[in-house]
Amino acid sequence: MAPNADDAKFLNDEPVSSNVKDVKPLPSDVPEEDIDETVHNNPELQEDMVDGIDKSNIIKETTRGARPEGGSYKEPSDDIITRHDPQVIAVLKRDTQPTWEERSHLVPYPPHSTMWMQGDDVAWEESDRTEREWRESLLTNSTLLAIGNFVAKHRQGVPEEIGPLAAGGFNALFRLNHYIHHAMNMTAALNTPGLTSDIPPVVDPNIDEAKLEMLYRQVANVLLQLSKLELPLIGALEETDEWTGTFPRAKLPTSTFKTSSDYFQALARLHVDHLTHQRNDAIESRADCQRKYTARQLFQKLAGEKKLVSDDRYDKGPFKFWCDDLRPSNILLDANLQIVAVIDWEFSYAAPREFTFAPPWWLLIEQPEYWVKGLEDWAEQYERRLTTFLKAVMDCEDASIASGQLQDEQRLSGKMRESWASGDFWTVYAARRNFAFDGVYWKKLDPRFFGYDGSFGPGDAWMKILELLDEQTRAAMEAFADKKVAESETRELAWEPDE
């Protein structure tokens, strides 16, 4: 089977078909999930697949190179690149390493990736293996037959098909629910035309402004409705014990919060704990460890001094209903681009007002930490879309006030504008996003709170402000760095007793 036109391209879509010779199918007994490992560990197979390949000039692309919206990236290694489907694999030869512009089509980490905390690859691989084995155990004939009989018993009609196993970030299940008729989600409506599924979506730079306003206006109506829901405490809407995650349970909060400042302090502590307990890939070097340690300790200092709360008057509430997963891919549209449903509410809770008052991060679809051209360019592009979004919010507010559904003091547009202008947007984002924390802290928060003016590189900024930490915290940094460097060298998958 010969590769199609898409197979014969590199990351920058330049044809490289002249570099591919005698492409042959993989052995039929190789499972798809084992393709990378099979090829990597079998030099003879590599030679059979591409005759005369120069292995010194090739790069590897793994199936984890593409990140679904809202998920996590995994950086490809730099030894071999493969493009494959279950039947064929083409190894593509390059004379040079790819540029960041080329790689960005698939793995949009900024060039200075140490500004962002990476995930634990060792834990990732083990999680993949465990999840794969579990999913396979669910797909036995007896299980599928039992599901079919269950549906036939409780639903009228003749069952015709059992669809693919649906998988979310924290679940894999056979969903039995009413189908919501829709044509697309909002991500598809906003996305740049021509982007393939392996390229993270981004708002079409040439999108019709009237179309964008129409979509934003509908989301604004949803946000205004949600913003009117108020609760007396910060925390989950109900207590469940079905999720354990990969974080030491003893480190997680065990109660609700009476003030926003207390909640921000808890989030700041969790950032420190995350750096402490992630054994692999948390740091790039000793200096990187010290930089990340300093940023988290200073953020914790700000939280303790109640400087992360924008308005003391509302520190004790009431608090707002908030959903971490409210984003375009969870907003379903009909063929006329009208919202028919908003789905995936499991990550909803009562949160500080600052969360609701910050404008949505997803106006560009892509998250700032994955924006190829960096945080400043993301902010510049975002501000352009924010102007359109705030106009849509104001239009909705005016209509809701005129109809008696909203009070003037319940407007969001002014609060969102102020959140962006003051930098509260970035405070909330850094508090909520552990892997994005470092870049946001050094680029946005440290200049705001401690006066870093960019006169020296952000990689060295931590050394200039160590005196802001108390003596005990500074003294603990060296031992902490020793521990993290040692962990990075052993690369073990292990847990503490309370994890």
Phi then psi for residue 185, to 5 deg, are -100, 175
> Which pLDDT does position 93 carry in this prediction?
30
Distance CA 262, CA 259 (A): 5
* Structural domain spans, the chain: 86-179, 184-490
CA 100 to chain centre: 20
**Does residue 273 contact residue 247 with C-beta atoms inside 8 Å?**
yes
pLDDT at residue number 172:
54
CA distances from 275 to 289, 472, 477 (A): 9, 18, 12
pLDDT at 333: 97
Residue type, 325: D
Closest among 281, 224, 334 to 487, alpha carbons compared: 281
CA distances from 212 to 215, 223, 338, 392 (A): 5, 16, 12, 9
SS3 321: strand
Phi then psi dihedrals of residue 213, to 5 deg: -60, -40
Which residues does 278 contact at the CB level (< 8 Å), separation at least 6?
117, 120
DSSP 56-118: GG-----GGGS--TTS------SS--EEE-SSBEEEPP-SSPPPHHHHTTT----S-GGGSPP
Q: pLDDT value at position 217? A: 98
Q: How many CB atoms lie within 10 A of CB 13?
A: 11
What dotted CATH number matches 184-490?
A: 3.90.1200
- Rounded Cα gap, residues 83 and 240, in angstroms: 42
Burial (CB count <10 Å: 0-12, 13-18, 19+), residue 367: buried
Determine the Cα angle at 111 with ends 109 and 117, to 5°. Answer: 55
Helix (H, G, I), strand (E, B) or coil at 351: strand
Q: How far apart are CA 291 and CA 463, in angstroms?
A: 8
Question: What type of residue is 67?
Answer: R
pLDDT value, residue 1: 36
pLDDT at 162: 64
- CB within 8 A of 35, min separation 6: which ones? 26, 82, 84, 89
Q: Which amino acid is at 143?
A: T
Q: Provide DSSP, 199-247.
A: S---B-TT--HHHHHHHHHHHHHHHHHHHT-EESSBEESS------TTS
pLDDT along the chain (499 residues), means of 10: 33 33 43 45 45 33 32 32 29 34 35 59 78 76 79 72 59 62 95 90 96 98 97 88 60 88 97 91 91 95 96 94 96 96 93 98 96 94 98 98 97 98 98 94 93 62 78 94 92 63
